[in-house]
Structure 1
Amino acid sequence: MIGTLNALVDLIEDNLDDDQPGQDIDLAAFARTRATTEYHLRRMFASLAGMPVSEYIRRRRMTRAAADLVSGAPDLLTVAVRHGYGSVEAFGRAFRAVHDTAPAQVRREGGPLRTQPTLRFRLSVEGRIPMDVTIIDRPALDLVGHAVEVPLIHEGVNPHIQAHIASLAPQEHLRLKELSNTDPAGILAVSDGPEPDAAEGTTLTYLHGVAVSEGTAVPDDLDVIALPAGSWAVFTSSGAFPETLQRLWAATATEWFPSNPWRLRPGPSIVRYLELTETHATCELWLPVERA
């Protein structure tokens, strides 16, 4: 996977060097040539780079555009078209989003600029996060409970999820526990995101619920996420909450997936809490996977 990510970076640079650098890169086609999937590629890139691949491309494009402006490009429209924008206005918005200044000012004064260096991925397996991992095959099942749309937050407790859980009556938690009839057992925290490399702040679906076998009768007032049969990588971790869980999530991308013959497949992530206090948690992180 590390070699694939570096090949993608090279492809992005080649695209920026083309006569028409604004053309989109076919990530799905590239992933197929590297015997992986676009979904897994996007997830791994975002986890390791700290940004979606689309954001990296935008930053690199605007870094190149800034160099053109500083070196004395004849006019803004020429630079805009060269970097894939049909108007000075659209180019200006993208430029300001990266550099926090207008292209005309950079052309006059040479800055200030926020450049994005070319990324280079390297594998460093440090074993900082002890990971107890089990691969489990599960039949089709349903996740049922109470769903809400919340913003994605990478670090710290998500207050929107906290408020959602707090709004549920105590008897509702008991009703959900009684419905649970298959693994992963018990109350679950389910995150179902719209994109594999969603940026922080992107809306995702959070479901507070349980797993039931396919065909189980579900009350009409509950939300349902249907899951097909497939394999799951189950990571077990224990430590300070929520830091340990968030570090474990990052370690799956930096340490486990690059050195194991599995890749992520589309589907939600599931957290099953075995023990939980305000400051400590023992939990399982369930990620949908398939053979690489």
Structure 2
Amino acid sequence: MDWLDGFHQAIQYIEDNLENHMDQKKLSQKANCSLFHFNRVFSYVAGIPLSQYIRNRKMTRAGFDLQTTDEKIMDIGLKYGYDSPTAFNRAFKGVHGMAPSKARKKGVQLAAFPPIRLTMHIKGNQKLNYRIETKKAFKIVGVRQHYKMDIEKNFAEVPKFWRRTAIKGTIPKILKLNNDDPKGLLGVSTCMNGKDFDYYIAAATTLETPKKFNAYTIPEGTWAIFECKGPLPTAIQELQNRIVTEWLPTSGYAYADAPDIEVYFEGNQQSADYRCDVWLPVVQR
């Protein structure tokens, strides 16, 4: 099964279970990758978080039900997983701009979000420099921040975390610990439960963990390592998008259940010539 087939099977599973409990494990099995990475890939290719897509689909169906059936509003809310009228009203209003009770009036305008169908268009007009490497497990030490799985929001929030860490003078302290490979300052997204994750600003080290710092062990695994060139954070965000939408679908590899890693080297990060690396955990399909 290729990457695109897995994506569409996961979307179909969502569609088949809008009125049922969605088993997160089954969803990741359909996608042929961890729930963490499916959330991440989905946000890149669809432009919205997976949770928002599911909510949009449920509220689209709820809108149809309100206009074509005599079901009670409370029963429709329960059908789509909302235990309280308040929660259903909030979700419905967030999608349609009105309360469910008003959606039954003739002539009202509702919003419809059809099921997503992904077709890959490989541009091929810009090369992606990468190499495949297998690495032994190694320890990282640094500071961490917890995030919800919302790619668009995190594009703004993660750079803020970097700025706060730099202002506090923490980055030189982290770099002093870097006595192991890879050399450089690391940004590491660790796999959680698919709904959230920890992001580390850290260094690879064999030294003991200082107080107020956090340690994490990167497991042994294989990575596709991509060269990124350009001012940050724009260059790395654009590269990450291209990796999952252009390279991954046709590469013969799938996302592995391991952390994503960014390796930052010395230099002016606002320069057009600045270079860093992006590590994507992979397994052969």
Q: Do the two structures share a fold, i.e. TM-score over 0.5?
A: yes
Change over 3 Å in CA distance of 1:8–1:186 after alignment to 2: closer
Alignment of 1:115-126 (within 5 A): 115-126=112-123
**Partners in 1 of 2:200 and 2:161 — Cα distance?**
12
Change over 3 Å in CA distance of 1:145–1:12 after alignment to 2: closer
User: Does the CA-based 8 Å contact 1:144-1:209 persist in structure 2?
Assistant: yes
Change over 3 Å in CA distance of 1:194–1:168 after alignment to 2: farther
**Counterpart in the other structure of 1:278:** 270
> Match for 1:237 among 213, 217, 228?
228
Cα deviation digits, residues 75-105 of structure 1 (max 9, x gap): 3134224434344333222212322321112
Alignment of 1:76-225 (within 5 A): 76-108=73-105, 110-149=107-146, 152-154=153-155, 158-168=159-169, 173=172, 175-192=173-190, 194-196=192-194, 205-213=198-206, 216-225=207-216
Q: Secondary structure at the match of 1:179?
A: coil
Deviation at 1:128, TM superposition (A): 4.8
TM-score after normalising by structure 1: 0.81
Q: Secondary structure at the match of 2:205?
A: strand
Change over 3 Å in CA distance of 1:183–1:161 after alignment to 2: same
**Partners in 2 of 1:104 and 1:30 — Cα distance?**
33
**Counterpart in the other structure of 1:59:** 56
Percent of residue pairs bearing the same amino acid type: 28
Deviation at 1:30, TM superposition (A): 5.0
Q: List runs of 5+ in structure 1 lacking aligned partners.
A: 199-203
Cα deviation digits, residues 203-249 of structure 1 (max 9, x gap): x5343321124xx4333443211222111221101123221111101
Deviation at 1:144, TM superposition (A): 0.8
Deviation at 1:129, TM superposition (A): 4.6
User: Does the CA-based 8 Å contact 1:40-1:263 persist in structure 2?
Assistant: no
Q: Which moved more, 1:228-237 or 1:245-254?
A: 228-237
Q: Secondary structure at the match of 2:108?
A: coil
* Paired residues, number: 277
User: Does the CA-based 8 Å contact 1:149-1:205 persist in structure 2?
Assistant: yes
**Counterpart in the other structure of 1:249:** 240
Q: Secondary structure at the match of 2:283?
A: strand
Change over 3 Å in CA distance of 1:148–1:54 after alignment to 2: closer
Change over 3 Å in CA distance of 1:265–1:111 after alignment to 2: farther
2:159 partner letter: N
Q: Which moved more, 1:37-46 or 1:89-98?
A: 37-46
**Counterpart in the other structure of 1:201:** none
Change over 3 Å in CA distance of 1:81–1:264 after alignment to 2: same
Deviation at 1:67, TM superposition (A): 1.5
User: Does the CA-based 8 Å contact 1:155-1:243 persist in structure 2?
Assistant: no
Q: Which moved more, 1:58-67 or 1:98-107?
A: 98-107
**Partners in 2 of 1:82 and 1:38 — Cα distance?**
24
